Structure 1
Amino acid sequence: MRSHWGWGVEADAPDAAAQRKLARTLKEQLGWDSLLPTEAVAVEDLTLPEPKVALPATLATLASVDVRDRAQHTYGRSYRDVARAHAGRFDHPPDAVVRPTSQAEVANVLDWASEVDVAVIPYGGGSSVCGGVEPDVGTPGRGVISLDMEALAGLIDLEVTDRAARFAAGTYGPAVNDALRPHGLTLRHFPQSFEFSTVGGWVATRAGGHFATGPTHIDDFVESITMETPAGAWESRRLPGSGAGPSPDRLVMGSEGVLGVICEAWLRVQPRPTFRASASVGFETLDAGVRAVRALAQSGLSPANCRLLDPVEALLAGAAASGATGAVLIVGFEGADHALGEVLSRALELCGDHGGDVSPGAMSVREGSGEPARSGAEEAWRSSFLRAPYQRDALVGLGVVVETFETACLWSRFEATDAAIRASIRNAMDQAGLEGIVSMRVTHAYPDGVAPYYTVMARPTPAHGQPVGVNDRIARWDAVKEASMEAITTERATATHHHAVGRDHRSAYDRQRPPLFAEALRAVKSRLDPSGIMNPGVLIDAG
């Protein structure tokens, strides 16, 4: 059973023993004391407002007004979402959770919602960390439903010759892989939310996977999209490439549910890898590591993994060698066609040109039949990467403020951008009464730029000697979030590299896009969603 307040399934939620163990670790590493475990408010103790709307008899069988259902669909999984849900504070629950079982039923729901002016929030796996699925539509008293696509799931069609697969939008990441595995294929799209996110959600948010170079954004895999809008159905033609005017798929990708409901997508798939080669490289300074990453990104070698962890991040992830105090680069290659040992050797030569050091035992080459396992620092990083959302929930239970901010900028602007973001976050933390750490890792690298990803973990200092409640913690988090958005905007970086815009990144996104583009987007929405029911307030103003 999925957790109604935190990441993943309820059985994996951090218990009091796990929180106490984490509290001891934080005391040892950061000197933090007085961190006490707390339990999330149970579903049976929640009181939600009565639904404001009811679906007609023809659609009622698709709807649920169960308290757990409504609570689970109130938020995504950002810090402020989890903190509020943990405290039992569900500010804007949907009036109902609706689960259509066909595209025709999606159309019927949108027709009804348009007629009665009920807002519709498309919902995939609910893993949004930017306010993208919260039913806060800006109009008090307006009815809202959460349109959960989980019943529209599975592999619909597979063209091995074209190496493409058609999936229903509600298909979760593991189910995508399971469906392709018997055919020796994979999508090769693995966001951190892979286990609890869907095909439709990936497309709607322009999700990024964890592969650092080459195909990594869902944009690289989409061949065709089928979407249901309040104005009618939308389906693009399957093509390997096209120069015929603006791409209809480019308009849908990243639309975050404001234009319609993504129902299906044809995706480009690839052979499963049988070769893997990886190594961890130590650098005395972060700057040296950044120069090595740029050399790799511009070399044409296209490593699958090229994660640079600053000293704090390396320590937290357990990727640093014993006694090491510098930055760590995890570099790796994988593929299905040829051995990769020579490619890795050339990559390590480039790293050595910038002072990189490969310690004994930090290199792994797996070649042969079957899917190779990961090992060493690569596996340590991957394990930490997948555990991070669960650890975040444990930190929330201890009253710690923890969140991530990501962006992308040009190589020529990275040094100034990194310094400005760190300084802005640090200053905001000081002003907000947050004592803690700021760490950074490079998640993706391009020939022309880089994507830095920042983590803030802080302990709120008591106000007037009193415990810091959830509202106070969220207010302090808001101040840091606003500061990060301001620095990103000032440095002309992007509002988001792969977390989407939602409601939390609107301030930076509004200033990033050309004003005329915003007007054009509003015009498109007006044509496809004339009643303004689709995810009001996301990307563009409600109404």
Structure 2
Amino acid sequence: MAGKHRSWWGWGNVEDAVIGAEATALEDRVRPLLPNADLTEHLAPPVAELGLRPPRIDPPTSLARLCSVDPADRAAHTHGKAFRDVVRNLHGDVRDPPDLVVRPVTEQDVLDVLDWCAGRNVAVIPYGGGSSVVGGVEPRLGDAYPAAISLDLGRLDRVLEVDTTSRAARIQAGVFGPALENQLRPYDLSLRHFPQSFEFSTLGGWLATRAGGHYATVLTHIDDLVESMRVVTPAGTSQSLRLPGSGAGPSPDRLFLGSEGALGVITEAWMRLQDRPRWRAGATVHFSDYDEAVAATRVIAQSGLYPSNCRLLDPAEALLNAGVATTGGVLVLGFESADHPVAPGLDRAVELCRDHGGTLPEASRGDDRTGPRKGPAAAWRSAFLRMPYQRDALAARSMIVETFETACTWSQFPALRAAVHDAAGEALRAVAATGVVTCRFTHVYPDGPAPYFGVYATGRWGSTVAQWDQIKQAVSDALLAAGGTITHHQAVGRDHRPWYDRQRPDPVALALRAAKSALDPSWILNPGVLVDPAARR
């Protein structure tokens, strides 16, 4: 990211925004599907015109060196990167900025900041990389706190130790994905965790949200890559024992994985690493029948082949985001290994696809043994990483462009997909919008897929957030009613709380509130995520 500048209002870097020929091509893809869409572009206001409220608190002299009151800094730390965040920013709606952006340099700084905030009843919002799409980093607090800070660990960004024998490293939580991989490259090792937000998210954020990576099967959830964690809480510091596994009671790391900064601030972790892959092979398989495409994907997921990529795009998703017209969808397959050639695994997966009517168009297969990524899976990966930028471009053109992600069993999937389409269609009609609903599988397991639904719809400038909220309500209700989870890999935050409260067992809610009270007695840590501040004493 050298020489580039982060956008305060949208995804990623200003220099990488969708403009020119790419913007024209995007509009040309939208018009045939949604001919009534008003694609007039709207620009975000300059930070100087936002009228941010003044900071309501001054830091003590001992912490002032860590604190920023710069308007651009505060504006950029106000929201995450969900559709509703981007649209509010485009409208200049930054009504609840953090009063300070605080960047610790050491773990002791984190302790000192928490002590100061607890004493002053100041809310602490751990920021990670700020890529939350569920309201997880937003100081949405009402009048419950006199002030709020955004705690940005971006200066804690080093790989501190590497154990090459055990293939593990001790890593500070504020490191961004590219910087982490660059520090591991001299050892020819990799964490091999590549979420869509990889360039703009941190290790601590992945751990706090139980993130899922780009890979479709095995060792893709950050949970599986953790050896031990160090977490600073207002009640003390938790350091788990570094082990390959343990049966000694409930796992201490599991308490903090997925805690979204509500129980403590993750400062570092020992992470399991992998050798960098030397062999890769991939293919795209076309289907004429979607049910057969789903069946082929299930058989591969249950085969023990464990592809690195097994991403099924339904016909609408294939057309919109891959430019491929099919009646049954496209399955993007990829295999990789640091130890052995993977072409035989790909051959067997393709054979399973052919058993279900799958075909390989000409030049749809790539086999690269030693060089950089290429072929079909790599082409999809490039398009995948551009999607958030394209989302922003469409949001600025009055489009409603957002996603739902979930997981369910294979037996539940047909009914769940139908329920989502019905709920989304009814909600779109209710908000007077015309739209398309797409589906792709981001991850697959032997017992079920993780479907990722996209909504692309016409909106009314000035009303798209309200329109989206109504669609979100309807589809989220449908997901839970059909047996899906409210989130597979994007966390709960504040936006998913109503459905998480319904999904979570009552005894677990009691235990979570008790843990919150014990570890954060002043209830200052990320209020509103996971449990209600109303329970605060």
Same structural fold, with TM-score higher than 0.5 when normalized by the shorter chain: yes
How big is each residue's C-alpha offset from its partner over 1:357-401, in whole Å with a ceiling of 9 and x where there is no partner?
122221112224xx44221x3233112100001001101111111
How big is each residue's C-alpha offset from its partner over 1:317-349, in whole Å with a ceiling of 9 and x where there is no partner?
2262xx543300001100110111111111111
Q: In terms of mean alpha carbon deviation, does 19-28 or 51-60 score higher?
A: 19-28
Distance apart, 1:139 and its partner CA:
3.0
Aligned to 1:534: 525
Aligned to 1:9: 13
Q: In terms of mean alpha carbon deviation, does 207-216 or 8-17 score higher?
A: 8-17
| Fraction of identical pairs, as percent | 53
Aligned to 2:502: 511
Q: 1:194 to 1:16 in 2, by over 3 A?
A: same
- 8 Å CA contact 2:315–2:330 kept in 1: the answer is yes
1:407 equivalent in alignment to 2:411: no
Counterpart amino acid of residue 183 in structure 1: Y
> How does 1:262-411 map onto structure 2 within 5 Å?
262-318=266-322, 320=324, 324-368=326-370, 371-375=371-375, 377-411=376-410
- 8 Å CA contact 1:319–1:381 kept in 2: the answer is no
Query: Which structure 1 residue ranges, 5 or more long, are not aligned?
Result: 461-467
Distance apart, 1:131 and its partner CA:
0.3
Aligned to 2:477: 486
- SS of 2:331's partner is strand
Name the CA distance, whole Å, in 2 between partners of 1:449 and 1:410.
4
Distance apart, 1:104 and its partner CA:
0.3
- 8 Å CA contact 2:37–2:399 kept in 1: the answer is no
- 8 Å CA contact 1:20–1:37 kept in 2: the answer is no
- Residue of structure 1 aligned with 2:127, choices 123, 126, 130: 123
Moved over 6 A (4+): none
Q: 1:156 to 1:523 in 2, by over 3 A?
A: same
Counterpart amino acid of residue 14 in structure 1: V
Name the CA distance, whole Å, in 2 between partners of 1:458 and 1:531.
43
Counterpart amino acid of residue 199 in structure 2: E
TM-score (norm 2): 0.96
Q: In terms of mean alpha carbon deviation, does 385-394 or 139-148 score higher?
A: 139-148
- Residue of structure 1 aligned with 2:465, choices 468, 474, 479: 474
How big is each residue's C-alpha offset from its partner over 1:251-282, in whole Å with a ceiling of 9 and x where there is no partner?
11000000011000111000000000111111
Aligned to 1:436: 435
How big is each residue's C-alpha offset from its partner over 1:434-471, in whole Å with a ceiling of 9 and x where there is no partner?
111100001111011110000001102xxxxxxx343x
- SS of 1:411's partner is coil
Aligned to 1:427: 426
- 8 Å CA contact 1:3–1:13 kept in 2: the answer is no
Name the CA distance, whole Å, in 1 between partners of 2:330 and 2:25.
26
Q: In terms of mean alpha carbon deviation, does 27-36 or 527-536 score higher?
A: 27-36
- 8 Å CA contact 1:19–1:395 kept in 2: the answer is no
Aligned to 1:148: 152
Query: Which structure 2 residue ranges, 5 or more long, are not aligned?
Result: none
Distance apart, 1:81 and its partner CA:
0.2
> Number of aligned pairs?
530
- Residue of structure 1 aligned with 2:117, choices 90, 113, 119: 113
Aligned to 1:206: 210
How big is each residue's C-alpha offset from its partner over 1:79-110, in whole Å with a ceiling of 9 and x where there is no partner?
00000011111021000100000000000000
Name the CA distance, whole Å, in 1 between partners of 2:340 and 2:166.
21
Name the CA distance, whole Å, in 1 between partners of 2:271 and 2:43.
41
Q: 1:211 to 1:295 in 2, by over 3 A?
A: same
Counterpart amino acid of residue 355 in structure 2: D
Q: 1:450 to 1:524 in 2, by over 3 A?
A: same
Distance apart, 1:124 and its partner CA:
1.1
Q: 1:25 to 1:418 in 2, by over 3 A?
A: closer
RMSD (Å), alpha carbons: 1.4
Counterpart amino acid of residue 284 in structure 2: S
Name the CA distance, whole Å, in 2 between partners of 1:238 and 1:214.
21
Counterpart amino acid of residue 498 in structure 1: H
Aligned to 2:53: 49
Counterpart amino acid of residue 156 in structure 2: L
1:63 equivalent in alignment to 2:54: no
Name the CA distance, whole Å, in 2 between partners of 1:363 and 1:285.
21
Aligned to 2:458: 459
Aligned to 1:463: none
TM-score (norm 1): 0.95
1:499 equivalent in alignment to 2:498: no
How big is each residue's C-alpha offset from its partner over 1:35-63, in whole Å with a ceiling of 9 and x where there is no partner?
21111111121210111111111111111
Q: 1:271 to 1:17 in 2, by over 3 A?
A: closer
Counterpart amino acid of residue 478 in structure 2: A
- 8 Å CA contact 1:221–1:269 kept in 2: the answer is yes
Counterpart amino acid of residue 189 in structure 2: L
Counterpart amino acid of residue 204 in structure 1: A
Name the CA distance, whole Å, in 1 between partners of 2:162 and 2:99.
38
